[in-house]
A and B are shown apart, each in its own frame.
Chain A
């Protein structure tokens, strides 16, 4: 009895040490970013929880952005997607930094609005870095891109986050972050102020008295955003 208890406690200690708790239930694929779980999920999981499981060799890592009674929704990213295959070795964690959790994920390039920035001939500009993370109920992203200003307006850049980011639960026009545009040839810079634009867009604009000339080459565009989910 003592040996069995000792083994059970040893297993518990390992869980406590690495931060991952076995879910002891069956998860199944629902979509590339959702998982079907037994009823009652809202009593066990919450936004910001970290997940890991296997679909083949090695763990995949995720962070929850929504919980319904039988569905977990994870942050969309290009590093790990849920495959239409069996899920094994599934764990969750309420901790910030359980062992192996990557914290930041790569994301698909945004589809930039045609009134903000393009590639100089109407196509999409180059997005070099797009990283996303969730801690607790805070979502944040970092983007670095380059291209050409499209249109004579104050819009440094704009895109629709609805297929990339978790839902934004605050009100429109709320501030979400900052940005910056730099043109090395002319040695000019523009500070951008990010906000939730109408109902579908995130926009980073410069001051209204300081619009960016049409077709100005943008050597570097850097923006970040952070908001409650």
Chain B
């Protein structure tokens, strides 16, 4: 018995991962069913890893009594298959944990920015990481301004924001094309979405091709 305990200690200290010592089962591509009492063991920001043929990694964004929700991403999803070798970690950087995950492109409001013909602009990077209760998101893309207002917006950006009010400022952003840069901020407007916002006296002309727009912003989850 003591030898088993010692091996567990050495394992946890060595790589930062604690064996879950319980059965996890598939619930959906981003949720896992666990035994009752999960809120006494796991919390937002915890890293998890499990094996379904290959080793997979996730970060917890919500915990209910019998359900763990991970940040939705395109690198690792929960398959409808048996889960083995399941671990968790409260640490920032347990061995193998990727830190950043790739997300599907946000859904842009095409009345504000599009691809020049009413379709979605191109999102070339959409990455997310979660540290504790902080989510950091990175977006890079290009498109065409639609309309003459001083912002463009999107939805489907990472985990849900918490403790927000009306209009929170989350990070700097930029939209530029040859010889011109517009600098602004990314805001979250409750119930509406994520806004790349610029000074109102520097509106971007309708149909202006934007060769790059980008931001790294962070928010509480």
Residue of A nearest to B40 (CB): A99
Q: State the Cβ distance, A126 to closest chain B Cβ, in Å.
A: 10
Q: How far is the CA of A97 from the CA of B164 in the complex (A)?
A: 22
A214-229 toward B: CB 8 Å interface, digit per residue (1/0)?
0000011011100000
Contact of A6 among B1, B172, B199 (CB under 8 A): B1
Q: State the Cβ distance, A5 to closest chain B Cβ, in Å.
A: 4
Contact A97 B2 (CB under 8 A): no
Residue of A nearest to B149 (CB): A187
Residues of the A chain whose Cβ atoms lie less than 8 Å from the Cβ of B165:
128-129, 144
User: Is A190's CB within 8 Å of the partner chain B?
Assistant: yes
Contact A104 B18 (CB under 8 A): no
Q: Which of B70-78, B117-125, B129-137 contacts A (4 or more CB under 8 A)?
A: B129-137
Q: Which of A12-20, A82-90, A111-119, A147-155 contacts B (4 or more CB under 8 A)?
A: A12-20
Q: Which of A24-32, A65-73, A178-186 contacts B (4 or more CB under 8 A)?
A: A178-186
Q: How far is the CA of A162 from the CA of B81 in the complex (A)?
A: 54
Given that A19-B91, A190-B199, A210-B201 are known contacts, is A223 also in contact with B169, CB under 8 Å in the complex?
yes
Given that A133-B134, A144-B168, A224-B169 are known contacts, is A96 also in contact with B90, CB under 8 Å in the complex?
yes
Residue of A nearest to B220 (CB): A104
Contact A182 B167 (CB under 8 A): yes
Q: Which of B6-14, B108-116, B152-160 contacts A (4 or more CB under 8 A)?
A: B6-14
Q: Name the residue among B2, B90, B151, B183 with the largest chain A CB count within 10 angstroms.
A: B90
User: Is B178's CB within 8 Å of the partner chain A?
Assistant: no
**A: number of interface residues (CB 8 Å):** 49
A164-208 toward B: CB 8 Å interface, digit per residue (1/0)?
000000000000001110100001111110000000000000110
Contact A144 B166 (CB under 8 A): yes
Q: Name the residue among B9, B168, B169, B200 with the largest chain A CB count within 10 angstroms.
A: B169
Q: How far is the CA of A2 from the CA of B172 in the complex (A)?
A: 59
Contact A18 B167 (CB under 8 A): no
Residues of the A chain whose Cβ atoms lie less than 8 Å from the Cβ of B12:
13, 16-17
User: Is A101's CB within 8 Å of the partner chain B?
Assistant: yes
Contact A16 B18 (CB under 8 A): yes
Residues of the B chain whose Cβ atoms lie less than 8 Å from the Cβ of A131:
163, 220
Q: How far is the CA of A210 from the CA of B200 in the complex (A)?
A: 10
User: Is A100's CB within 8 Å of the partner chain B?
Assistant: yes
Residues A1-60 near B (CB distance < 8 A): 2-3, 5-6, 9-10, 12-13, 16-19
Residues of the A chain whose Cβ atoms lie less than 8 Å from the Cβ of B8:
9, 13
Given that A128-B166, A220-B166 are known contacts, is A189 also in contact with B5, CB under 8 Å in the complex?
no
Q: How far is the CA of A144 from the CA of B165 in the complex (A)?
A: 7
Residues of the B chain whose Cβ atoms lie less than 8 Å from the Cβ of A10:
5
Q: How far is the CA of A195 from the CA of B165 in the complex (A)?
A: 24
Residues of the A chain whose Cβ atoms lie less than 8 Å from the Cβ of B200:
187-190
Contact of A103 among B9, B45, B171 (CB under 8 A): B45
Residue of A nearest to B13 (CB): A16
Residues of the B chain whose Cβ atoms lie less than 8 Å from the Cβ of A97:
43, 45-46, 90-92, 131-132
User: Is A135's CB within 8 Å of the partner chain B?
Assistant: yes
Q: How far is the CA of A146 from the CA of B171 in the complex (A)?
A: 19
Contact of B133 among A100, A102, A180 (CB under 8 A): A102
Residues of the B chain whose Cβ atoms lie less than 8 Å from the Cβ of A18:
90
Residues of the B chain whose Cβ atoms lie less than 8 Å from the Cβ of A6:
1-2, 5
Residues of the B chain whose Cβ atoms lie less than 8 Å from the Cβ of A128:
165-166
Q: State the Cβ distance, A89 to closest chain B Cβ, in Å.
A: 17
Contact B197 A104 (CB under 8 A): no
Residues of the B chain whose Cβ atoms lie less than 8 Å from the Cβ of A192:
185
Residue of B nearest to A182 (CB): B167
- Some 19 contacts from A to B, beta carbons below 8 A apart, are A3-B1, A9-B5, A13-B5, A96-B92, A96-B131, A96-B132, A97-B132, A99-B43, A99-B90, A100-B43, A103-B133, A128-B166, A129-B164, A131-B163, A133-B132, A133-B133, A210-B199, A222-B168, A224-B171
